[in-house]
Structure 1
């Protein structure tokens, strides 16, 4: 005798709710994300979601954590077996590639770390740090470098996803230039960076 199918409510979990929410965002954008829209796709009443996500804000946090975790997985695969300039180039290219394939769900990424994204965020930052290992940066210089790579790659990819580059020059060429600029900056001695910022070795007037 065939077993009766489980109800939609019984099949739901926090992960499946996130799956549904990300699919909704992929198709309709973040403006369409509401608990009622997610519940409708799940085939349940909105109150049924509260067993799995406490609020829309909590759902956004879980979605952001998933995006960061997926991104970290791709970056980790891209840099595996590579080091120095090759690793940084692979990392930046993979980051841009993820955003190009998932432009709408990437907008669900919360840039400020929250309770849901902290662990995945640490994994992502750790991968970037590992890619920089061959440069021999001290802790402070490595933090600055990670920030710069994140700002440069995220900024370019996010602008590209929004079709914000209006001129005709090929974007691949612009991104290649950005990558070369970042790599060149990583070779700048820390003392020179300190001097540019008015560090202790810079004479004052």
Structure 2
């Protein structure tokens, strides 16, 4: 019989807490079970495998990010929406760097993970539509936004910005360049 209060959602929450505290190297069923206060085999009543747990984590994180970033852009358009999108995206990554890795690298064939990723990408589509883009231009713009912000975050988190200038200033420059490009597009 499953432990009272332990559900797939509860196991996912515990795994995300572990991820936040210790990074992906610590993410094992044994460590999640210890955090839950159960033996490792007991987790199989709630998750099928570590890969299934990672899928549940990715869905949770993608939905969390889509809600947060979507709220930041709500009611805005054009450059204001773009700036809100990029700032919220970076803010999420800076605040929760290990979760951010699940956003850009969900690595799953699970349709539920794909659907969650699509919900986040739809926020980006809403932003670029405000620049009057259509069809293939929308796809190119969303890919460009994601590549730019993901690259910036990866460099920032990886210590790639060693020059004396504040990365926040460089980020504002990135926003300006992207806004100008989208406006010209």
Q: TM-score, normalised by structure 2?
A: 0.92
Show structure 2 runs of 5+ residues with no match. Answer: none
Matched with 1:140 is 136
Show structure 1 runs of 5+ residues with no match. Answer: 1-6, 190-205
Larger Rg: 1
Alignment of 1:27-106 (within 5 A): 27-106=21-100
CA RMSD after TM alignment = 1.7
Distance 1:127 1:179 in 2: 17
CA contact (8 A) 2:69 2:123 kept: yes
CA contact (8 A) 2:20 2:98 kept: yes
Q: Which moved more, 1:153-162 or 1:28-37?
A: 153-162
Distance 2:107 2:14 in 1: 23
Matched with 1:14 is 8
Distance 1:52 1:8 in 2: 8
CA deviation digits over 1:112-151, x for unaligned, max 9?
Answer: 4642321211111111111122222121110110011111
CA contact (8 A) 1:68 1:120 kept: yes
CA contact (8 A) 1:8 1:42 kept: no
Alignment of 1:142-181 (within 5 A): 142-181=138-177
Matched with 2:179 is 183
SS of equivalent residue, structure 2 residue 102: coil
Distance 2:49 2:2 in 1: 19
Distance 2:118 2:53 in 1: 20
Per the alignment, do residues 142 and 171 of structure 1 end up closer, same or farther by CA in structure 2, a change over 3 Å counting?
Answer: same
CA contact (8 A) 1:30 1:107 kept: no
**Greater fraction helix:** 2
Q: TM-score, normalised by structure 1?
A: 0.84
Deviating 4+ runs (over 4 angstroms): none
